A and B are shown apart, each in its own frame.
Chain A
Amino acid sequence: MDFLIFKAPILMVQASLDGILLGILFALIAYGMALQWGVMNIINIAQGDLVILGGYIAYTMYLAGIHPAWGVIVSPIIMFFVGWALYKLVINKVVDRDLFISILATFGIAIIFQQLMNFIFGADVVVAQSEYGTTMLFDNSVTLPNSKIFSAVVSILYAVALVIYMKKSRLGRAIRATAQNARAAKILGVDTEKVYAATFGINAALCGIAGALIAITLTLHPYVGLPYTVRSFMIVIVAGLGNLPAVAISGMGLGLFEEFADYILGTEFRIGAVFMLLVFILVYRRFKLSKKREYLK
């Protein structure tokens, strides 16, 4: 094993910390995905592009001279309305249909978003400087940008706030009722159409927060949305719908996997590794399920 990471074990600490902090961010996006998947039964391929759009909102603020960290407050507000509008324009027509239709339709939305972002913000890789500095650990051998710590803390705060909101508020209860049984909820007077729109808006807002955090911790580019979609999809199928602790843990697991894959396989295979992991997870799941089916026989 002549990999750098095995020669210098301190790199493992670096990769683990990076992975966990990154994973928390992924978990936030995945939580949005789980929410809309569970409530509306659609798979949103444009999820990652909503994230990137949220990031560009923070980046625009950065260009305008405002500290990009304020993006974590502004971006979700704007993205909520983007999500709401998107629901009214397109998503409401695919909610009760075949899942493949929602996949294709959101794929179309993803393409539109990518191209529009390319027009407005250009095709360069950009980053919003937060100038938070870095923390050095273990005799300066592990560097940890403070922006990553900031992003993890903000993600956790928002996730906790959302969980409480879903438990306590009227809208939250309506959303959970609709997720359990849309028809029954409708009969009992829940305006499901409004619930769906709000759910999609909340999902987009979560994407907006994650995007603003990505703008300060990682990089933005109009065409990197799809990997975020796939990551959140993966986390959701591993964790299951509506199981928040599991979402957090599998998000961190994915972050760890990515960082180690980055060190071992090389950065050029990082995204490839993510997509291969998706295939492996699905295939593993298929064999596990088919075994279960055999017991039934």
Chain B
Amino acid sequence: MDKVKQKDLILYSGLIILGLAAPFLFPGFKVQLTILCVLIVLAMTWNLQGGEMGYNTFGNILFYGLGMYLTASVQVGMFFPLAEWTESGGEKTFVHTTSQYFQGMGVGLLVAALVPTIIAGAIGYAILGLRGHYFAICTLGLGIAAGEIAGGIEIIGAGQGFTTPPFPKDIVDPGARGDFFYFLSFVLLIGTFVFIKWIYGSRFKLILNAIRDNEDKAEAMGIQTMKYKIVGWMVSAFFAGLAGGIMGGLIGYIDSTDVAFDGREMGVFMVLMAILGGKGTLWGPVIGATLFHFLKEGFWTLILGWQYVALGVLIVVIVIYFPEGLMGWLREKYPERFGEVIDEKDRKAQVELK
């Protein structure tokens, strides 16, 4: 047992060192690395619903977009009138000082974490009572409705979009902006990973699995499934909101349907990443997100213009041929590595049957 722990320790410290060193090793890819961190966070939180709880949601994009709008709105609204800011397209009339920028960002991220969590809790009872595909379609509708409605609200820029405050000009170091957002997202990633790893070792995860495997039976066993489903969704909302807030600051511009409530891209990406890596595993979403990010960047630059076709084909192929994902495939191939004991006789009998 000690040996395993030592191995884990080496793995985790290695990854953290790699993460800390990454922006200095690849200074040209800071933005990509930041996006990677955010993608991993989104995939891991999606996995909590889709993988562990068996509730395949398209709706986590709702919290992501909300977090994005909230962070930017708070960051602006704390110091300047929000309506005038969005009307003037930002930057020209009002300038954040350095301390205002970071203060606003901090409070904004706090709001972006809390409000989606509260909303998830509030609508959870109504939405999470739906089962299976009704839940999937309902959450898809929620995400798109949010985008359409946000696109009609004047104070947050309506259809023209919302320019988030630019990084303070007082900081002369040109790499500072990239470093700031990278480390912010890296901290979020570590926080998410630690939290979800803790969940994986807890009773909570077993309850989520019980809900996935047979909700009615779980209920019959005396588990108040609704309570746990809502808590699980709130956890996802918390981290997705934070991820959205960081992405909003990084991109610098929020559009209602193309950036914030982007069900066509980000909303599908998170599902796809988790499935690609293998849902229902701790490392699956991490690996899936990393692999997906590489694939996506490859598509986006190599076959510019055809990227959505490639993305669509990728979705179809993954969903049809690899629904268990990379981890699922590995698990089938090397069950011993995953701590599954397979009776040798049983295996031989299986082979003979074939």
The chain A residues found within 8 Å of chain B, CB to CB, are: 43, 90, 93-94, 97, 99-101, 103-105, 107-116, 119, 226, 230, 233, 237, 266, 268-269, 271-272, 275-276, 278-279, 282-283, 285-287, 290
Contacts and interface: CB of A to CB of B under 8 A. Distances in A.
A100 B137 contact: no
Contacts of A99: 132-133, 136
A272 B146 CA distance: 7
Contacts of A114: 308
A271 B148 contact: yes
B127 interface: yes
B95 interface: no
A268 B138 contact: no
B316 A105 contact: yes
Interface in B95-154: 126-127, 129-130, 132-134, 136-138, 140-142, 144-145, 148-149, 151-152
Contacts of A287: 126, 129
Nearest to A99: B133
B82 interface: no
9 contacts: A104-B275, A104-B319, A111-B264, A111-B268, A119-B305, A230-B137, A269-B149, A275-B148, A278-B138
A24 B112 CA distance: 43
Given A101-B323, A272-B152, A283-B127, A111 B132 contact: no
A280 B217 CA distance: 28
A111 B269 CA distance: 12
Contacts of A230: 137, 140-141, 144
A43 B56 CA distance: 14
A109 B144 contact: no
Q: Which 8 pairs between the two chains have the least Cβ-Cβ distance?
A: A108-B315, A272-B148, A112-B312, A275-B145, A115-B308, A111-B312, A268-B152, A278-B141
Nearest to B148: A272
Q: Interface SS of chain A: helix, strand, loop or mixed? A: helix
A278 B137 contact: yes
Given A105-B319, A116-B309, A279 B129 contact: no
A162 B149 CA distance: 38
Given A100-B136, A108-B316, A226-B144, 14 more contacts: A93-B320, A99-B133, A100-B132, A101-B320, A108-B313, A109-B316, A111-B308, A114-B308, A115-B312, A233-B137, A272-B145, A275-B148, A278-B137, A283-B129
Contacts of B151: 268, 272
Contact of A275 (B127, B134, B144, B313): B144
A43 B142 CA distance: 18
B271 interface: yes
Interface of B: 56, 126-127, 129-130, 132-134, 136-138, 140-142, 144-145, 148-149, 151-152, 158-159, 264, 268, 271, 275, 305-306, 308-309, 311-316, 319-320, 323
Given A100-B136, A233-B137, A105 B315 contact: yes
Given A43-B137, A266-B152, A286 B315 contact: no
A115 B138 CA distance: 25
Given A278-B138, A279-B145, A111 B315 contact: yes
A111 B129 contact: no
Nearest to B315: A108
A105 B56 CA distance: 14
A112 B144 contact: no
A269 B316 contact: no
B230 to A, nearest CB: 14
Given A101-B320, A272-B145, A275-B145, A282 B315 contact: no
A116 B142 CA distance: 27
Given A268-B152, A269-B152, A90 B159 contact: no
Nearest to B135: A282
Contacts of A101: 319-320, 323
Contacts of B56: 100, 103
Contact of B137 (A97, A276, A282, A283): A282
A90 B126 contact: no
Contact of A286 (B129, B136, B141): B129
Contact of A90 (B137, B268, B306, B316): B316
Contacts of B133: 43, 99-100, 103
Nearest to A278: B141
A286 B137 CA distance: 13
Nearest to B59: A279
A108 B148 contact: no
A39 to B, nearest CB: 16
B314 A286 contact: no
A291 to B, nearest CB: 11
Contacts of A286: 126, 129-130, 134
A276 to B, nearest CB: 5
Nearest to A284: B126
Nearest to A265: B152
Contacts of B158: 268
A263 B315 CA distance: 39
Contacts of A110: 312
A104 B323 CA distance: 11
Nearest to B267: A107
Q: Which of A99, A109, A111, A269 has the most CB of B within 10 A?
A: A111
B60 to A, nearest CB: 15
A142 B316 CA distance: 47
A105 B151 CA distance: 28
Contacts of A275: 141-142, 144-145, 148
Contacts of B264: 111
A269 B314 contact: no
A47 to B, nearest CB: 12
Given A109-B312, A111-B315, A283 B320 contact: no
Contacts of A237: 134
B320 A105 contact: yes
